[in-house]
Amino acid sequence: AQKITQTQPGMFVQEKEAVTLDCTYDTSDPSYGLFWYKQPSSGEMIFLIYQGSYDQQNATEGRYSLNFQKARKSANLVISASQLGDSAMYFCAMREGIFSGTYKYIFGTGTRLKVLA
Amino acid sequence: NAGVTQTPKFRILKIGQSMTLQCTQDMNHNYMYWYRQDPGMGLKLIYYSVGAGITDKGEVPNGYNVSRSTTEDFPLRLELAAPSQTSVYFCASSYQGAGVTLDNEKLFFGSGTQLSVL
């Protein structure tokens, strides 16, 4: 069963508008971490934001916020005031393995975001 | 502050050739990972290591081997290259220690190796 699901292969957003990228996850670990990474056309992986499973508040990093709904097992990324430089591939990822003691990071298939001028 | 360094950045192999992708990190991270990313797809875990001398398989280990003789280095070996191994390979590292903090959670990536097998 897929553990990280990103159902939006591609998204368009108008410059300066907000956009939400969806991510759902599945794990039986009581403690896990959720991440979003950005991959621009140059190919590098850029860390954006992190949410721990026990964190009470949604994580924020500048224009990025993570809408964490634990009961629904969702961790959507919200980008406010989109900029042309936000055009990239975005990956949701989860760190699990606290029970086994071996930490592994699992990635979704990604969402390609295009910001329109 | 080098972080995670991968070499080479690009490589073309012929079917049946072998090669080693190098990965080194200078952050004293205990965990290291190898991922592959096929065109337009997400990252799939090939192998990982929880410390020097300890390695384990990920989702797609067939056709690859790894070793971890030091904390810093985690090379990935392709023994008999096949066209199905054409991909971008990322090495990554993290520090797993006591407590759940961003420093203990964040995955640091190398810049990737683009490999074509023809």
Instruction: Give the long-range contacts of residues B109-112, CB within 8 A, separation 24 or more.
Output: B109/A44, B109/A45, B109/B4, B110/B3, B110/B4, B110/B5, B110/B6, B110/B23, B111/A43, B111/A44, B111/B6, B111/B9, B112/A43, B112/A44, B112/A45, B112/B6, B112/B9, B112/B37, B112/B88
A51: closest CA of chain B, how far (Å)? 9
pLDDT beyond 70 at B79: yes
Diameter of chain A measured on Cα atoms: 47
| pLDDT number for residue A2 | 58
pLDDT level of residue B8 (50, 70, 90 thresholds): very high
Decide: A98 and A54 in contact? Cβ < 8 Å. no
| pLDDT number for residue B2 | 78
B50 sits in which H/E element: strand B43-51
pLDDT level of residue B116 (50, 70, 90 thresholds): very high
A91, A103, A110: residue with CB nearest B31: A103
| Beta carbons of A47 and B107 less than 8 Å apart | yes
| pLDDT number for residue A54 | 85
- Chain B residues with CB inside 8 Å of A107's CB? 35, 42-44
- Chain A residues with CB inside 8 Å of B114's CB? 43
A35, A47, A91: residue with CB nearest B42: A91
DSSP per-residue string spanning A48-83: EEEEETT-SSPPEETTEEEEEETTTTEEEEEE-S--
Q: Each residue of B88-115: pLDDT tens digit?
A: 999 999 987 665 566 667 889 999 999 9
How far, in whole angstroms, is CA A84 from its chain's centroid?
Answer: 19
| Beta carbons of B41 and A52 less than 8 Å apart | no
Q: Each residue of A53-110: pLDDT tens digit?
A: 888 899 999 999 999 999 999 999 999 999 999 999 999 999 887 666 667 899 999 9
